[in-house]
Amino acid sequence: MMSHIIIMATGALAAAVCALLGCFLILRRMAMIGDAISHSVLPGIVIAFLLSGSRDSLLMMFGASVIGLLTVFFIQMFRQGGVQSDASIGVVFTSLFAVGVILVSLYTRRIDLDLDCVLYGEIAYVPFQTIDLFGFGVPKATFGLALTFLVCAVVVGLFYKQFKICSFDPALAAALGIPAAFFHYLLMGLVSLATVSSFESVGAILVVGMLVVPAAAAYLLVESLAKMIGLAMLLGVLSSVFGYGLAYVLDASIAGSMIAVSGIFFLAALMFSPAHGVLLRKRRLQRPAEG
């Protein structure tokens, strides 16, 4: 029973961190950059792993954050060199991800990271790897995620106004003297951090689902940023709880099920959202014709 709760809590934390940052990614039209970062942190994780020889999270987080920022930097560099932005995203993240996959395959006997774990995480094993904290055995991944959540929440909370203005009106932000480039990289750094700490539990490709899907559902439902963040986090947490149940019933990948459930939430929002839902909009369009 305890392990069920731990797995659900870990998933919920990952979902909450990702949803919080995903809202800003969506508003700044950078969802695919989130995708790129979530893929390209892989070589950072593997290299940190090979260097340190352990799954010590701190070094991994550092390595992956560096690679995450490098990804953003490269994308920016090629874009300024005249490559179209989505093509430059595509080139950079596929290359880095390929390096990561090859490193994993090369050293697959020496390290206990395998391709399955890279893709869809091993959240089911989270309860078994604990660290000692004030005499309690706390699962490592859960602890790391809690820490990341705290960091992200504090940073976003402190600079909420700046992030908000940068997302909605970059020109105004520049006019007000807000260092937009700094906040851009700060956000990207946070996304890398969130990706790395969710990586072990949900895997590279599904992190992007956590980043995008709950935030997009919330985007359809509410009009204010604060509400959107709250709702996205709530939906993320609900998806991970129900997703775990679904995975238990189906005997399938937990992370995949979490994404599938969040997809159901998104579809519901798409259909029934009061302002942007497909069904209600249809009715609104018909009403003038009736009158």
When the beta carbons of 8 and 213 are compared against another protein, the nearer one is: 213
Q: Which of residues 118-147 bind another protein (CB under 8 A)?
A: 119-120
User: What residue has token string 């995949």?
Assistant: 256
User: Which residues, at least 6 apart from 187, have a Cβ–Cβ distance to it below 8 Å?
Assistant: 21, 24, 25, 28, 163
State which residue, 30 or 233, has the beta carbon closest to another protein: 30
Provide, rounded to whole angstroms, the least separation between the CB of residue 262 and another protein: 8
Site for another protein in 170-209 (CB under 8 A): 205-206, 208-209
Binders of another protein among 218-237, rule CB under 8 A? Answer: 219-220
- Say how far apart CA 185 and CA 181 lie, in whole Å: 6
Give the torsion through C-alpha atoms of 269, 273, 276, 278, to 10 deg.
80
The span of 59-67, 75-83, 165-173, 224-232 binding another protein (CB under 8 A) equals 75-83
Residue found under tokens 């790129």 = 36
What is the rounded distance in angstroms from the CA atom of residue 154 to the CA atom of residue 132?
25
Smallest gap from residue 116 Cβ to another protein (A): 8
Which lies closer to another protein via its Cβ, residue 35 or residue 140? 35
Among 150, 209, 108, smallest CA distance to 13 is for 150
Window of 2-10, 49-57, 77-85, 149-157 that interacts with another protein by CB under 8 A: 77-85
Q: Is 24 in the site for another protein (CB under 8 A)?
A: no
- Neighbouring CB atoms inside 10 A of 122's CB total 22
Question: For the residues of 149-169, what is the DSSP string, one character each?
Answer: HHHHHHHHHHTHHHHHHHHH-
On whether the CB atoms of residues 152 and 17 are closer than 8 A, the answer is: yes
Of the residues 58, 106, 175, 271, which one makes contact with another protein according to CB under 8 A? 106
Q: How far is the CB of 263 from another protein (least distance, A)?
A: 4
Spatial distance between the Cα atoms of 113 and 49, rounded to a whole number of angstroms? 9
**Cβ–Cβ under 8 Å, residues 271 and 278:** yes
CB neighbourhood size of 179 (10 A): 13
**Least gap, CB of 137 to another protein (angstroms):** 28
| Least distance to another protein, CB of residue 62, Å | 24
> Please, which residue, 57 or 192, has the CB nearer to another protein?
192
Binding site residues, another protein, CB under 8 A: 26, 29-32, 34-35, 78, 81-84, 86-91, 94-95, 97-99, 101-102, 105-106, 108, 115-116, 119-120, 205-206, 208-209, 211-213, 216, 219-220, 247, 250-253, 255-260, 263, 266, 270, 276, 278
